Amino acid sequence: MVVRLHPGDARALAPVLADLEAAICESLDAACTAAGLRPFAPWQLAFVPSAACEPGQPVIRADFHDPAAPASVATVRETVRLRRLEGLRLRLAGGAAVPLTHTPFVLGRGADCDLVVPDLTVSRRHAEIRHGPGGGLEIRDLGSRNGTFVNGERVAAAPVAPGDTLALGAAELRLEAAP
């Protein structure tokens, strides 16, 4: 487990990091015991200073694997903080509406997407809707082959709001407020 801390927090916590590591490992062992699980190896923790972290907001990346197991081809990604949404939905051109429940919300043809769009002009991971820098929503193309469009204009990233028409390749969707 890697715990990234703001550099100021890392300096302030330096005298107690060994005790903190021991307490975290003890808590993890207790949680495993309570759940009837047995860890397959000792817990490994690393505290890393990172300027990308906000003061008081550590970022934790946990990787659970059996060191004796064969290597996996699965990719390990950084943890993404989901932000809940209410009252928005995406309406497909065919009429079906899908609630936009959180951001980032990945759109594409792949089974691991939040909204699977079964169209061959749509890339496996085509685009994502996320919170933009100004607090509103934006759509961001994820390197798709056939492009992402907002109201007919091709974009790499652009703000979106209810009423906008989105196109992923040839598939059209409309962002709308739920009634």
49: phi then psi, degrees, rounded to nearest 5: -70, 140
At 13-72, the pLDDT tens digits run 999 999 999 998 899 889 888 888 777 678 888 888 988 888 988 888 876 655 555 554
Counting residues of the chain whose pLDDT is more than 70, the rounded percentage is 88
pLDDT of 133 reads: 82
Q: Across all residues in the chain, what is the average pLDDT?
A: 86
Q: Which two tokens stand for residue 35?
A: 């759940």
Q: Side-chain half-sphere of 178: how many Cα atoms within 13 Å?
A: 12
Q: Which residue in this structure is represented by tokens 């550099």?
A: 7
At 131-155, the pLDDT tens digits run 888 888 999 999 999 999 999 999 9
Can you tell me the distance from the alpha carbon of 59 to that of 77, in angstroms, rounded to the nearest whole number?
A: 13
Can you tell me the distance from the alpha carbon of 100 to that of 89, in angstroms, rounded to the nearest whole number?
A: 5
pLDDT at 161 over 90: yes
Provide the whole-model pTM: 0.55
pLDDT of 75 reads: 53
Report the greatest alpha carbon distance in the chain: 60
Q: Which residue in this structure is represented by tokens 């397959």?
A: 40
Q: Which two tokens stand for residue 150?
A: 């907002």
